[in-house]
Structure 1
Amino acid sequence: MEKELPKIDITDDFVIGSNDDIDLNILSLYTQYPCRLRAEIFVLCRSGSIEASINLSEYTIKKNDFVILSPGSIIQINKVGGDFKFYFMVFSSEFINGLNKNKSIIDLIYITKSHPILPLPEEFGSIYEEFFRLMKKVYYKKHTPYNPEILKCMLLSILYRLSDMYHERPIWKETGSNRSEEICKKFGHLVIQHYTQERNVAYYAQQMGITPAHLSNTVKHVTGKTVMELISEVVIVDAKAQLKSTDLPIRDIAYSLNFPNVSFFGKYFKRLTGMSPQQYRNSDK
């Protein structure tokens, strides 16, 4: 029984295409409720724009932006604008799990959690568009068998190039030099990984090797919110998604989020949203 945020995955190892190949109504899958991804998704935007929430941060994706969504990312689309043209490449969770990841790839995964969007110069935007078009021709050629090892080499080549491009950008180095921002980012990553089980400031401080007071003061200074407020935001996002996109009993949703009982979950949810879980499930929000 599914007891987590909706996970989006694919059954094949690999899928590639563009907005011309799909019904754009599929984007509505990501608009109504937040979704937790299982697949690795690369998107190149060539025109138009899209406003989206990625790991609870708001972004506007525009022309020549290259988007990297790692497994475990939480995404929700808020608005699509203009003549939105894009290319996408998706690798399944099973395929990703079988990939040998060295330090450079692990570093890239960490960077893209904080910076999922890489703006490209027009020249590189055109080059990547040509690459996607070439891969599409190969992908849609009938009776062409896929060798998993070739796919792995292709994915690794993309990841290595992206790693180089990220590290070539001064903005990433400048952001990384701010200790307070780094603490907040690491805290955010840990919360997304452990919020269903851990909602204690001391736990996250211990994982980061700092004192609870240091963590609390830093998070408040950088974000304007308390540690508990940020944890609660993630919990509520998950709760809302389960209430709207599954038929799970509220009791099961409460237990999946590590609440001791339905009553406790109901009070927690109402205090933060202004309505009970059942009222939210029945609402149009």
Structure 2
Amino acid sequence: MEKRLSVTDFNRRFTRGLGKELFSDENLTIIEDVNNLPFWRQINQVDFALVILCKHGRLEATLNNVNYTAQAGDIIFCSGMHTMTEALITTDFDCDLFCISMRKYQELVVPDKESMSNFLFAYQRPLISLNEKEMQLVEGYKRLLQIKNDEHDTIYSGRITDSITQALVFEFMSACERRKETMPDYVQPNSPINKNIAHDFLFLLSEDRCQHRSVSFYADKLCVSSKYLSHIVKKETGKTVSKWIKEQLTEQIRNLLLNTSLSCKEIAMRLDFPNTSFFGKFTKEHLGCSPMQYRSNGRSNVIHTTLIE
């Protein structure tokens, strides 16, 4: 399995000269005054959540083949379940970046009804707008973490940092919660008793990146039957386990076709298709054309972090 990009890897490869670093460790990185996104199409195999807070200008981004436009006060959520292709920015673009490892997220956030609902909301609708008060709160958490970053270690430093990080995550989740209240068409997850199972399945799927595609693999990992897992995931998320797997596999294929130079045979082997014929059939069924056609059409339309007026 290909190594997933960690927060530490991201710091080492992309943050030099990117902006002003306010906080950085193996689980969390905050960088402000970022005016370019040179890493955009190179972080589709990640083990962290990325939050982009737009402060000036405009960002036109494509996640999972859906186009989003972020302006000042907007945030975009990106995770290991998103495939990022296009990114267009204006010449006056400026943003803050927040990277938090998924392991730390799971450690800080109890998978209850609300967190499960907001995780799904951020996945399905990754662009939301913050109001002035929310922007001020995020700014406050940033400054607290910056102070802790500059402070000498004490026996409580880690706990304090975790508490501030948890508060920041909850602030983003709270923003999602408030937006859901204004969307009468948004369907909330159901009973709280099975939230942990559906929540843990989605994290397993994100970590696995479709190396395994049978329902039984995830059911065994979660110590439940395949039938029960399928029932719970469908009930809580509105999609079957198989549909989630196929969607994530499709995004993996999209990413490898558009963002790598791997041949179709190499992609088929990496994703464990029995042969290129099966790979081509799956791609045509889910992307609407052959792998080579999709690569040709996609690359002719994708420009990497281009400046726009």
Q: What band does the TM-score fall into relative to the shorter chain?
A: 0.5 to 0.7
RMSD of the TM alignment (CA)? 4.4
SS in 1 for 2:273: coil
Q: Match for residue 120 of structure 1?
A: 130
**How do 1:137-176 and structure 2 match up within 5 A?**
137-139=147-149, 141=150, 143-144=152-153, 147-169=157-179, 171-176=181-186
Deviation at 1:52, TM superposition (A): 1.2
Q: Which moved more, 1:243-252 or 1:166-175?
A: 243-252
Q: Is the 8 A contact 1:46 1:86 kept in 2?
A: yes
Q: 1-side partners of 2:180 and 2:280: how far apart?
A: 46
Deviation at 1:245, TM superposition (A): 4.9
Distance 1:39 1:66, change over 3 A: same
Q: Where does structure 1 lack aligned partners over 5 or more consecutive residues?
A: 180-185, 216-226
2:108 equivalent to 1:99: yes
Q: 1:194-238: per-residue Cα shift (whole Å, max 9, x none)?
A: 866269xxx9986526xxxx98xxxxxxxxxxx99x997764542
Deviation at 1:128, TM superposition (A): 2.5
TM-score where L is the length of structure 1: 0.65
Deviation at 1:79, TM superposition (A): 0.8
Q: Match for residue 50 of structure 1?
A: 59
Within the candidate set 267, 274, 278, 1:264 is matched to 278
Deviation at 1:84, TM superposition (A): 1.4
Distance 1:126 1:237, change over 3 A: same
Q: Match for residue 29 of structure 1?
A: 39
Q: Is the 8 A contact 1:54 1:75 kept in 2?
A: yes
Within the candidate set 89, 94, 97, 1:88 is matched to 97
Deviation at 1:82, TM superposition (A): 4.1
Q: Is the 8 A contact 2:81 2:248 kept in 1?
A: no
Q: Is the 8 A contact 2:144 2:164 kept in 1?
A: no
The one-letter amino acid of 1:175's match is D
TM-score where L is the length of structure 2: 0.60
The one-letter amino acid of 1:39's match is F
SS in 2 for 1:19: strand
Q: Is the 8 A contact 1:8 1:37 kept in 2?
A: yes
Deviation at 1:105, TM superposition (A): 2.5
The share of aligned pairs that are identical, in percent, is: 20
Within the candidate set 234, 245, 267, 1:253 is matched to 267
Q: 2-side partners of 1:255 and 1:19: how far apart?
A: 41
Within the candidate set 77, 83, 96, 1:74 is matched to 83
Deviation at 1:152, TM superposition (A): 2.5
SS in 2 for 1:176: coil
Q: 1:232-282: per-residue Cα shift (whole Å, max 9, x none)?
A: 77645422433565576644521443422123324554785766559949x
Aligned length: 249
Within the candidate set 6, 9, 15, 2:6 is matched to 9
Q: 1:163-183: per-residue Cα shift (whole Å, max 9, x none)?
A: 33333346554122599xxxx
Q: Is the 8 A contact 2:70 2:127 kept in 1?
A: yes
SS in 1 for 2:56: strand
Q: 1-side partners of 2:246 and 2:173: how far apart?
A: 32
Q: Is the 8 A contact 2:49 2:102 kept in 1?
A: yes
The one-letter amino acid of 2:6's match is D
2:154 equivalent to 1:136: no
